Structure 1
């Protein structure tokens, strides 16, 4: 019995070997040769296979379903990429706005620094004394004012000045105007200023 089982197993092995060496391997070799010949002939074997397979009912449905799924995935990827691009553009716009705001703040700070620097330099400059021309112009203005003033009013104001200022003013007035003012003064002041004017003339 055991020997019979071994014989059956041996027969199955022999049949498989016969199929492998006589049918399968030659068929595989033939298919490979045909594919090589078609490829060298410029025929796209896979495209042709797809074309003929699409004509079969079940195979064509499977191919169409596969293409539809691939197309749907591709469209979904495109939508996701577009959404990503839009989001990046928004972020870039925000960054540009923030940059412009910072540039405006920097410009304002530069202007403020320049203003403070100018004020500091101006504060450090020494105070200039009036020039001789400005002083002479001021004196001329005072003389003109007393020239047009009434002698009585001038006689009341001049004694309130120092002797030097009073003599300087009276010496620059016209002779008749100075005489009219002295006439309106009391005798003591009139005598004092007349004496001072005389000494100034002698010097």
Structure 2
């Protein structure tokens, strides 16, 4: 029994020896290569040490890897560049966000301005419409204003060459009142056809034109003054044609002839007017007496009577 145990131990020992015989050269070679690489290549050594430090028990038995200063500086520089790039990217992202916010704020401001402008235009339009409506209502409720508007439109629709002579028979204030109610084109065309002096007087008053109510008052006052002047002139003008005709018909022919010959030297037109006012028999008697006193003047008067 003891011999069998001894033989088993001998076989076991011989097997281990054979294993060591093959493994020792391999291990030596590996260790030698590792030592050579560690000596001549710092990176390999450091990599090996770093790998060894990852093994739980072995990390306590191996030294710390030696760091290369140049490599460390380069790595630090790379880390700084990487950090700076990351910071730059972050700043760029924040700047892009700020730009987007600013652009959005500008767009919102533009929209607000457009809304405000639209509201202001609507307000102005509403105010203008209200003003126009009020003015139209005022015109509609004032018959006199409406009549002036209609009259001004009537003259504006006429040709300027026809409207101008008619309007020149009005007073200056009346012309100003009507022209003020016309459009500028119609007003200009009518003034161009008026007498230059009349057009100048009207233009100066148009320049100082005031409200429609003041124009109406001025026009009415000018009409009153003109009518009063016409009445006064009529009252102081003396005899009318009938009275003159009756007066000369009652006078002797010789006396009438002397009076008319004397008057002819002062105003030939008045002599013609008087002879036209008397009846035929009276006229023939007076002309006969005039021909005896001054045949040449009588012939001239007769010629004018025939052409008048």
Q: Determine which structure has more spread, i.e. the larger CA radius of gyration.
A: 2
TM-score, normalised via structure 2 length: 0.26
TM-score, normalised via structure 1 length: 0.37
Larger relative CO (CA 8 A, sep 6+): 1 or 2? 1
